[in-house]
Amino acid sequence: MTAIDAIIDDFELLDDWDDRYRYLIELGRTLEPLDEAARNEANKVRGCASQVWLETAIARPPNAPAVLTFRGDSDAHIVRGLVRLVLAFYSGRPATDIIDADVLDLFRRLGLTAHLTPQRSNGVRSMVERIKSDARAALAPA
């Protein structure tokens, strides 16, 4: 079972939205903290009300598409959980899969879209666009 599958299973076991918010906060606590050096302007995600940083690493295996791995962090507890959820969905995938995959469908399926403030929803969209932009850049000829 992948990390995202385990998160989905755990999330779907929780009926109460207070429990789901607590679970998001717990997810955020599982993020590896970013080094202070990674909390820079280049890694800052624009469009988020909270501060969010996203660090991207690109592996280019021979005769295979580029694979992107992400690390992220936020200064807000629930947002850290959302970062963890998004990174579990996208990190470690080939760039082509990242471009085609839509974590927002997962958010809708889990009911998150209806329970996030407009600011948090905009922040998630900004983070997803940044991840997809990095994936498109990884596919560009060198």
Kindly report the CATH class assigned to 3-139: alpha beta
Q: Helices marked H in the chain — which ranges?
A: 3-13, 17-29, 77-90, 95-100, 103-110, 112-115, 118-139
Tens of pLDDT, residue by residue, the chain (142 residues): 788 999 999 999 998 999 999 999 999 999 988 999 999 999 999 987 889 999 999 999 898 889 999 999 999 999 999 999 999 999 999 999 999 999 999 999 999 988 988 889 999 999 999 999 999 999 987 6
Which strands sit side by side in the sheet containing 93-94, from one edge to the other? Answer: 52-59, 67-74, 93-94
Report the C-alpha gap between 43 and 26 in whole angstroms. Answer: 23
Give catalytic residues, as residue numbers.
48
pLDDT at site 142: 64
User: Domain limits of the chain?
Assistant: 3-139
pLDDT at residue number 64: 87
